[in-house]
Amino acid sequence: MKNIVPVKWLLARLYEPDIVIVDCRFQLGKPESGRAAYEEAHIPGAVYLDLEKDLSAPIGEHGGRHPLQDLATLAARFGQAGISNESRVVAYDDQGGAMASRLWWLLRYLGHTNVFVLDAGFSAWRDVGCPVSSEQKVIIPARFLASVQHNMLIEMDEVRESLGTGRFVLLDSREAPRYRGEAEPIDKVAGHIPGARNLFWAEGRRADGTWKDANEQGERFAGLGLKQDDELVVYCGSGVTATPNVLALEEAGFTRVKLYAGSWSDWISYAGNAVATGEE
């Protein structure tokens, strides 16, 4: 798995100078809990980046619940966290990889490919007796130069214009009841973008919390009839839990994958956008 690293891999490289470990723990609805968990115990040397304060822009009229941060601001924040263009970055969370995958995607979007997600997250690290610490690392700022990969992102207008044309395959990463419009605990409107297929992001993990391998991920996507030359657009509620599906698609060998970062919460912020319910 080229994007996922096991606990033993990180343990063996814990103090190598080019490794930057980033704690991304965050709970929706409890925005302070992630930092509190980090301050209580984290992987030694890890820095903390907050989903809403560091990895998202402030909420506006459009852009969804976790808008993309201004790219210059984001690059500067990575540098402040000690991430340079030469760093090997390992991200972890305790939310099934969703928050860590957001950081993975953002760094890749800014041209930094040497970034990984820790398999099964912080609990797996601690449960096998690996060291933890409450000490906060003295961060030496680094120079991070962005090289934006525009082909990784798609905007709302292009999604809307593509509806009914077959240009893209749309993948909705939310749980099935939200996709079908039967339940909507977060956003103001229930349903999905017309034509989208549903593939819940958490099904990319096994029962023990580890990520499925490339073959297993490939079986997930084959079950939806996806082909590796398809051009895919992945979305979720706010652009966060779509990123584990983007990562899983890359693991399975898909190369034409775009993220609709604003996702459903951005889509419904435009009054004229169509909404579908039920199965497609």
Q: Which are the catalytic amino acids?
A: 236
| β partners of residue 117 | 4, 91
Sign of CA dihedral 240, 155, 90, 9: positive
What's the distance, CA 218 to chain centroid? Answer: 19
Alpha-carbon span 274 to 168, nearest angstrom? 17
Tokens of 89: 């970055």
> Number of helices and strands (H, E) in the chain?
10, 10
Distances (CA, A) of 69 to 38, 105, 117, 232, 239: 23, 13, 21, 23, 12
Distances (CA, A) of 114 to 108, 117, 196, 261, 279: 8, 11, 31, 21, 38
- Between 242-251 and 214-222, two packed helices, what is the crossing angle to 10 degrees? 110
**Secondary structure in 3-state letters for 195-231:** CCEECCHHHHECCCCCECCHHHHHHHHHCCCCCCCCC
Alpha-carbon span 110 to 31, nearest angstrom? 25
Closest CA to 190 of 277, 74, 254, 64: 277
CB 239 within 8 A of CB 157: no
